[in-house]
A and B are shown apart, each in its own frame.
Chain A
Amino acid sequence: MWDWAYTFEILPKLGWAAITTIQATLIGFVIAATLGLALALTRIAVPATAWIISVFVELIRSTPLLIQIFFIYFVGPSFGIVLDAFTAGVLAIGVHYAAYCSEVYRAGFDNIPRGQWEASTALNLSTWTTFRDIIIPQIIPPIVPALGNYLVALFKETPLLSAIAVLELMQTAKIMGSETFRYTEPMTLVGLFFLAMSLVSAALIRATETAIRRRMIR
């Protein structure tokens, strides 16, 4: 059933592929977090854009990520945007999760009582100081766990990149399986890798959450 010799043979290759998976996760999340913040801030700064942004967010959240990846990868060239598979895939993942993240930021800003803004104005604080010293410190604690959950969700979506032949973990396992007709070991190892990473990151998120909460109370 389970061939240990084969397992040790494929382990290093899968290890290298895991690096691509992690790269895709981190780059995708940086795009998601910054673009999401930009969307949320634009919404606050220019209220006229609010409906366009909500239609965009709804559009992104209502259609499958796989189709969005295909869209950027296959339709992009028709508009002169030619990206390699990795860039197109990571961009699609980043934009997809930016829609989710922007809602997280928005909820964070909405949670700040109006009186905090008014008090800052009354104390003659500049916009920059208000943001840095009053608003941001109050927004971070509720946002961190939510963003963390999306980081884990995004990580678990990276196997979709295999659909456009990015050599990440899943694609590598698929190729191994089709070469040797042994899917058991590569697929199970990929599953275990995701399980382990998800459990570890869930624990990390919980730890950060408690650490931040302790600091904020003080």
Chain B
Amino acid sequence: MGIRSLLAMLAATIALLAVLSGRETYSLFVPGLLQGAVLTVQITALGCVLALFAAIAAALGKMYGPAPVRWLANAYIEIFRGTSALVQLFWLFFVLPQFGILLEAFTVAVVGLGLNVGAYGAEVVRGAVASVPRGQWEASTALNMSQTQMLRRIILPQAIVAMIPPWGNLFIELLKSTALVSLITLTDLTFKAQQLNQTTMKTIPIFTLVLLIYLAMSLTLTIGMRLLEQRASRGLSRGRSA
């Protein structure tokens, strides 16, 4: 979808939310749901940061690390991509305490989801670094740069541009998978919805509002990433033509 259609859809979603929260049958649930939404946003934001770091570390470890680091990075990527996010959360939440490691539910949520998305992100980072033309590497070598300098100054700035669109998708995946944390006792948007649903049984208003709130958050994130992408590629084309 183009950015204009996305903006139109976001405007429509917010308008619908505003109209519905004016109605009595709906307005009852708005404060509670928004409270949950705040936690959802917090987990998403922290999870995204962790995912970025985990992905870069794993990708660099896999590409340039000595053999043990490479195996470790590979094991991390395969394990987190090969099992379900929910299984990972449950494992961190229920099994780790039996080994004496007790984490708060919030920490489990951020670590679990961040590492899960980070494993997918590692392949994105690797692909983006690999997509930088060979000549760039050769020229950096010819200029006698060390490998760190090469990565930091030449390769990564170009790779980052190629990474933005896939990372946008991954961030959306992370936002959506925060719904899972309701199953490990965190009072996020989904948890609030279920709680309100069990006490009032007003399924239609509650779940309609929840869907719209998630939609508004995802669309905002998508639009933000699109704008970032436009900005970044604008810089790149200027750099190339110069």
Report A's interface with B, CB cutoff 8 A: 1, 51, 54-55, 58-59, 61-67, 70-71, 74-75, 77-78, 156-160, 162-163, 170, 173-174, 177, 182-184, 187-188, 190-191, 194-195, 198-199
Task: Find chain A residues with CB under 8 A from B88 CB.
Answer: 191
Kindly identify which residue among A159, A177, A182 contacts B86, using a CB–CB cutoff of 8 Å: A159
13 contacts between A and B (CB under 8 A): A54-B5, A62-B172, A64-B214, A65-B176, A67-B211, A74-B207, A75-B203, A159-B84, A160-B86, A162-B183, A163-B183, A184-B95, A184-B98
B-side binding surface: helix, strand, loop or mixed? helix
Task: Find chain A residues with CB under 8 A from B6 CB.
Answer: 58
Q: Contacts A66-B179, A67-B179 given; indicate if A156 touches B207 (C-beta within 8 A).
A: no
Task: Find chain B residues with CB under 8 A from A160 CB.
Answer: 86, 180
A104: shortest Cβ distance to chain B, in Å?
Answer: 14
- Complex: how many Å from CA A70 to CA B5? 28
Q: Tell me if B90 counts as interface (CB < 8 A to partner A).
A: yes
Q: Is the CB of A183 within 8 A of B95?
A: yes
Q: Contacts A75-B204, A170-B86, A195-B82 given; indicate if A63 touches B94 (C-beta within 8 A).
A: no
- Complex: how many Å from CA A114 to CA B156? 38
Interface residue tally for chain B (C-beta within 8 Å): 43
Q: Is the CB of B94 within 8 A of A177?
A: yes
Q: Tell me if B27 counts as interface (CB < 8 A to partner A).
A: no
- Complex: how many Å from CA A170 to CA B93? 14
Task: Find chain A residues with CB under 8 A from B190 CB.
Answer: 64, 66-67, 70
Those of B50-99 within 8 Å (CB) of chain A:
78-79, 81-88, 90-91, 94-95, 98-99
